[in-house]
Amino acid sequence: MKTHKIAVLSGDGIGPEVVSETIKVLKVVEQIFKYNFEFEEALIGAIAIDETGNPLPDATLQLCKDADAVLFGSIGDPKYDNNPNAKVRPEQGLLKLRKELGLFANIRPIKAYESLLGKSPLKRSHIEETDMVIFRELINGIYFGEKFTSEDGTHAYDTCSYHRKDIEEITHLAFQEAMKRRKKVMLVDKANVLDTSRLWRKVAMDISQEYPEVELDFLFVDNAAMQLIINPKQFDVILTENMFGDIISDEGSVIGGSIGLLPSASIGTENALFEPIHGSYPQAEGKGIANPMASILSAAMMLRYLGLEDGAKAIENAVENAINNLIVTSDLDETSDYSTSVVANYIAKILLSDHDHHSYFNFENVLMGKSTII
Ligand SMILES: NC(=O)c1ccc[n+]([C@@H]2O[C@H](COP(=O)([O-])OP(=O)(O)OC[C@H]3O[C@@H](n4cnc5c(N)ncnc54)[C@H](O)[C@@H]3O)[C@@H](O)[C@H]2O)c1
Ligand SMILES: CC(C)[C@H](C(=O)O)[C@@H](O)C(=O)O
Ligand SMILES: [Mg+2]
């Protein structure tokens, strides 16, 4: 089996906690399916600023370019969030990495798990059977346009800019995904106000000609924010620009019950990075309460991207088993006191019990501190 080189960027806050649990799960999958992973860690975010002055050191970027895939945790720190004057910020590391790797499509699946329907603040009848995927453009738009702050700090602007070529490729991906699903693409935009949105509509209409079986529809983002709450079942594939995608995906996470469940894949032509959609959740750092599932499910998306479908499916099934048995962190069940690692250990145990009985018993010993196979 080919060796897959995986760059591991744990980052800040809960990033290192959820990523180390994910690697534990990946090592179990590696053993079961005889995969061969080579993990190499590198700095990004606030920790990279502390250690090198740069939120994306050159060595990190090079490692990611050379890797078969990047596993990313989260970045961000209150010392920057609370200081609008900071010139260097952790988020710049992630944005530069996405841009340098050409990760134009951020794919964010959202679904309502049957056993969590009662855990969402939204009504069960509204959310059951929801199954959608957001295709968020990731390396253009207002995040990357010209920016300005005046010397006296009284004037600032950010510019939202798109070229046709920035929209085409992700639009094709969204239509191709729709062909495998319920054949519906919803473009979320603000075409009643923004020129960039009108360009998105034109490009989507043109490209839709190549996919006659797929129904293309349009929704203004303000209405989309409401529809996501009152009737999320209507969505199959949502296609949208960078900032709208950022906002509506956090909103959509409420359907599943917690943002701690939502994975994502950021795909480019040459590279790919896998990241939970949540941030560094600094309030939880070191407490062992962060939900590791978004990160573990991002790793499943990584395996699928690497062509390791068996491992991907096995992880998704094991996570679903944990969810069905309510072996979840407190974000999904306020009565739960299962920690980040207890949840990940359970997922690892299920993988072993489903696929590798011999090691399963060893793993029981590991959990009881009697062995160190993992
Ligand atoms: N991709 C990223 O690395 C990323 C994404 C978003 C925010 N950020 C950064 O993270 C920092 C904190 O931002 P924020 O508070 O707005 O967003 P956040 O996603 O870190 O946390 C928002 C809330 O979501 C919940 N949450 C998030 N992750 C969770 C998990 N794994 N398990 C359980 N609950 C979870 C918590 O209730 C938390 O208060 C900021 O510095 C921000 O810039 C980074
Ligand atoms: C941290 C930030 C730059 C990032 C974004 O806005 O893209 C985050 O919110 C995300 O959703 O990945
Ligand atoms: Mg976000």
Q: Enumerate the domain spans of the chain.
A: 1-111+262-374, 121-135+164-256
Two tokens at 296?
């573990």
Torsion angle (degrees, nearest 10) of CA 344, 310, 129, 181: 140
Arithmetic mean of pLDDT, 55-71: 98
Instruction: Name the residues around ion ligand 3, CB cutoff 5 A.
Output: 246
Specify the higher pLDDT residue, 84 or 201.
201
The region, left, alpha or beta by phi > 0 then psi within -120 to 50, assigned to residue 103 is: beta
CATH class of 1-111+262-374: alpha beta
Instruction: Tell whether the model's pLDDT for residue 307 goes beyond 90.
Output: yes
Contacts of 152 (CB under 8 A, 6+ apart): none
Query: Does residue 241 carry a pLDDT above 90?
Result: yes
Contacts of 235 (CB under 8 A, 6+ apart): 130, 132, 184, 186, 227, 228
Query: Are 1-111+262-374 and 121-135+164-256 the same fold in CATH?
Result: no
pLDDT, tens digit, for every residue of 197-221? Answer: 999 999 999 999 999 999 999 999 9
246 CA distance to ligand 2 middle (Å): 7
Phi, psi of 319 (to 5 degrees): -65, -40
- pLDDT mean over 11-27: 98
Q: Per the residue annotation, which of 113, 143, 162, 211 is the catalytic one?
A: 143
User: How is residue 134 annotated by DSSP?
Assistant: E
Q: CA nearest 158: which of 144, 171, 169, 170?
A: 144
d(C-alpha 299, C-alpha 287), whole Å = 23
Q: What is the pLDDT of residues 252-290, one digit of tens each?
A: 999 999 999 999 999 999 999 999 999 999 999 999 999
Catalytic residue, from 190, 233, 305, 354: name it: 190
CA 82 – ligand 2 centroid, Å = 17
Amino acid 356: pLDDT: 74
* Cβ atoms of residues 273 and 104 within 8 Å: no
Query: Which CATH fold would you assign to the domain 121-135+164-256?
Result: Rossmann fold (3.40.50)
> In sequence order, what are the beta bridge partners of 25?
none
ipTM attached to this prediction: 0.99
